[in-house]
Amino acid sequence: MTELPRKIAVVGAGEIGRGWAALCASAGWPVTIFDSDSGAAEQAMVEVPRRARVLIDFERATSGIVERGLLEFHQGRSLLQAVRDADWVIEAVAEDLQSKQLAFERIEEVADKDAVITSSTSGLPPNDLFARCRDQGRCLVAHPLNPPELVPLVELVPGDFTDPAALLRTEGYLRALGRIPITLKRAVPGFVVGRIAAAVYRECIDLVLKDVIEVDDLDRAVSLGPALGWATAGPHLTYHLGAGEGGVQIFLQQLLTAFEGWWGGLASWQKLEPEEQHALIQAVERAYTGKVAMLREARDRRLNAMLRALEEARSDATG
The residue (of 134 and 268) whose beta carbon lies closer to a second copy is: 268
Nearest to 135 by CA among 97, 176, 107: 107
Identify the sign of the CA torsion 105, 111, 114, 115: negative
The residue (of 4 and 227) whose beta carbon lies closer to a second copy is: 227
CB of 170 to a second copy, least distance (A): 16
Rounded Cα distance between 176 and 87, Å, is 14
| First-last CA distance in the chain | 24
Nearest to 162 by CA among 144, 135, 187, 186: 135
Query: Can you name the residues that pair with 31 across neighbouring β-strands?
Result: 8, 73
Q: Distance from CA of residue 125 to its chain's centroid?
A: 16
CB of 49 to a second copy, least distance (A): 17
CB of 280 to a second copy, least distance (A): 7
The residue (of 71 and 305) whose beta carbon lies closer to a second copy is: 305
Between the CA of residue 182 and those of 18, 31, 185, what are the distances in Å? 22, 24, 10
The residue (of 32 and 121) whose beta carbon lies closer to a second copy is: 121
CB of 110 to a second copy, least distance (A): 27
Nearest to 118 by CA among 92, 82, 90: 90
The residue (of 114 and 211) whose beta carbon lies closer to a second copy is: 211
CB of 85 to a second copy, least distance (A): 30
CB of 301 to a second copy, least distance (A): 5
The residue (of 134 and 289) whose beta carbon lies closer to a second copy is: 289
Rounded Cα distance between 257 and 263, Å, is 10
